[in-house]
Structure 1
Amino acid sequence: MAAAASATSPADKERFICIYPAYLNNKKTIAEGRRIPIDKAVENPTSTEIQDVCAAVGFNVLLEKNKMYPREWNRDVQYRGRVRIQLKQDDGNPCLPQFPTRKSVMLYAAETIPKLKSRTQKMGGSDQSLQQGEGGKKGKGKKKK
C-alpha cells in the first residue's frame, strides 16, 4: 500500500491535502473534528472562505462543494464542502516554504478568515437588525390574583 502512495505524484489531485470547515470551527470540540486550538479557531468557517484565503496566498486549490465531513451530523449546505490544497510539489518540497505542514495551512486559514471582507461587512451591518426587534412589550394574558 505504501508503494502505491509513493508511486503517485504529490501534484496529483488525489494527493492534495483535504481541509474541512470543521477542522477550523471554534464551535466544535476536538471529538467533533476541530484540529487546531480553540483560541485560534474561527466561528463557523465555510469551505468557500477557506478556498478564498488559500488561493489568495498562492496555493493550488480545489473546492469540492458536495463533499461532507464524515463526523458532521448536520446536513445543511452551510456545513458542506471540503477544500483540497496542493501542499507539496513533484519533488516532495513544499509548494510554499512558509507552509511546510497541513497544520500550518489550517492555522493560517483560521487567522485570515476573520479578516475577509464578507466577514467584516456582516459584523458592521448587524447593528440595525438588533434595534428593529426592540419594541413595546405586551402582556402575556390575565394577571394572577
Structure 2
Amino acid sequence: MLGKATRLQVKVRERIDSYIKGKTEGISTPPSTVDEALKLNLSQLLRGLTDEGRINRAETIRESHVSIKRGPRGEVTAKIKEYTVEIDPSRRTILHNCEDWIEILSEKRLCKHVVRVFLSLPLESSKKILADLLVNREKWRFEAA
C-alpha cells in the first residue's frame, strides 16, 4: 500500500510538522495567563524560557541517557548522564546541578538538561509546567543542587 498513510502515521506527521513549525515561531507577545500559555506549542514555550542553542543541544541528548521518576504530587526527578534535575510544580521549584544552570540561575532560564527533561515528559505534563513557569516566572525558585 504505497502512498497511503495510516491514521497513526498521519498523526505522527502532524505532530512533527507542528513541532518544526513551532521551532521557527517565537513568542511575539508573552502570554499573561496560564490558559493563554497552554495554547502555545511545546517549542514556543521552551523558546520563551531559553535560547535556541540550548534547545538544539537538548535535542542531541539521547533518550537512553535520561531516566525520569514521577512523584504523587506531580514532582519530577530526572537523571541525565551524571546530572540530576528535580522539578516540583506545587512548590514551584527547580533544583539542578550543572555548571551552565549555576551560571544562569539569576536569569531564570533553562539549561539543556532541564529542556531535555521537558522534551522527555509526556507533552501535556510538560506544557502544564512550562506554561505556569512562563507566566509566573518570578514565583518560581531556581536552585543549585
Same fold judged by TM-score > 0.5?
A: no
Could you say which structure has the larger radius of gyration? 1
TM-score (norm 1): 0.23
The structure with the greater share of residues assigned to strand is 2
Q: Provide the TM-score with structure 2 as the length reference.
A: 0.23
Greater helix content: 2
